[in-house]
Amino acid sequence: MRGAVSSICAKRVAVLLLLGSAASLAGNVDISVVERSGRGVADVVVTVDSLQPHRTASAASTAVMDQRNRAFSPRVLVVAVGTQVEFPNNDTVSHQVYSFSDAKKFQLPLYKGERHSPVLFDRAGLVVLGCNIHDDMAGYIYVTDSQFFGETDTDGVLHLHNVPPGDYRLTLWSPFIADPASDLSRDVHLDSQGVSVQQIRLTRPLRALPEPRPKRGDWEY
C-alpha cells in the first residue's frame, strides 16, 4: 500500500512539475497602437489568436456597460463569449438601450437606475448599441472567442500576460480607426524567451465620429 501511495504522489509531483514548466514558458505580448504623429490611441480592442488548433473554453463572467452624461460608459467594451453584461443607467435622464446587430439583438424598455437583468452575449461579433431617445448615443460591445484579448490604455498600450510560445494572429479594432482591416491584422511569433513587442502605427487620421453607427430596425425577429 505504501508503495502505491508513493507512486501516486510521484505522479502528482510530475504533473505539477509539468504544469509549472508550461507556466514558466508563458510570456508577454506588448502591443502599442499609435497615430501617425506617434500619439497613443486608447480603447483599441486587441485580440490574439493561436494559429495552431486549440479549444476555446466559454467564459462565465460579468461586465458593465453604464450610461452617464448621455453616453455609454465605456464607449467600447470587449468581452468573452458567454459574458453577461449589466446595463445600469446612472444618468440624470432615462434611456432605452437597443441593438439590431447580428451578434445580439435586444432592447431594454425606457428606464433609469438598475431595472433590467443582465444580457447574455453568447455569440462572437460586434454589437452596436444605441438609444431610442438620444440618437447621438453610440456604444460598442466586441464579443470575442479569442484566447487573449484586451483594450489599449490611455497611452495606447496593452500588456497581455501568460501567453505560451507559438504563432499567433494579432487583430485590432476601434470605431475611430479608419485604416483598412487588412492593415489591422498581423501574424506574430512568441519564442521561448517569452516576450513579443508589437507597435502598430496607423496610416490614416482617426475618425471624428465612431463607425458603424447604431441602426434602427424591426423588432419582429
Q: What percent of the chain has pLDDT over 70?
A: 83
At 183 the pLDDT is 96
Q: Decide: 88 and 80 in contact? Cβ < 8 Å.
A: no
Whole-number Å distance between alpha carbons of 137 and 95: 10
How would DSSP label each residue in 64-128? E-EEETTEEESSEEEEETTEEEE--B-SSS-B-EEEEETTEEEE--SBSBS-SPPEEE-S-EEEE
Torsion angle of the four alpha carbons 149, 151, 156, 159, in this order, in degrees rounded to the nearest 10: -40
Compute φ and ψ for 4, nearest 5 degrees.
-65, -45
Instruction: Determine whether 177 is exposed, middle or buried from the number of CB atoms within 10 Å of its CB (0-12, 13-18, 19+).
Output: buried
Domain ranges of the chain: 27-55+146-216, 57-139
Q: What is the pLDDT of residues 55-114, one digit of tens each?
A: 665 556 999 999 999 999 999 999 999 999 999 999 999 999 999 999 999 999 999 998
Give this prediction's pTM. 0.85
At 57 the pLDDT is 56
Three-state SS sequence of 1-68? CHHHHHHHHHHHHHHHHHHHHHHHHCEEEEEEEECCCCCECCCCEEEEEECCCCCCCCCCCEEECEEE
Lookup result for grid cell 446612472: 90
User: Looking at domain 27-55+146-216, does it have CATH number 2.60.40.1120?
Assistant: yes
At 4 the pLDDT is 43
Residues β-bridged to residue 22: none
Q: Right CATH number for 57-139 from 2.40.50.140, 2.60.120.260, 2.60.40.420, 3.40.50.1220? A: 2.60.40.420
Average pLDDT over residues 32-55: 93
Q: What is the pLDDT of residues 184-202, one digit of tens each?
A: 999 999 987 778 999 999 9
Question: 24-33, 141-150, 170-179 — which is least confidently predicted?
Answer: 24-33
At 55 the pLDDT is 65
Q: Decide: 106 and 119 in contact? Cβ < 8 Å.
A: yes
Whole-number Å distance between alpha carbons of 176 and 52: 31
| Cell numbers at 202, concatenated | 496607423
Q: Answer whether 27-55+146-216 and 57-139 agree in fold.
A: yes
Stronger pLDDT, 40 or 54, i.e. the higher one = 40
In degrees, rounded to 5, the angle at the alpha carbon of residue 127 between the alpha carbons of residues 126 and 131 is 150
Average predicted confidence (pLDDT) for the chain: 87
At 141 the pLDDT is 98
Q: What is the pLDDT of residues 137-165, one digit of tens each?
A: 999 999 999 989 999 999 999 999 999 99
At 218 the pLDDT is 62
Q: Decide: 72 and 87 in contact? Cβ < 8 Å.
A: no
Whole-number Å distance between alpha carbons of 95 and 107: 11
pLDDT at position 123 over 60? yes
Tally of CA atoms within 13 A in the half-sphere of 58 that contains its CB: 10
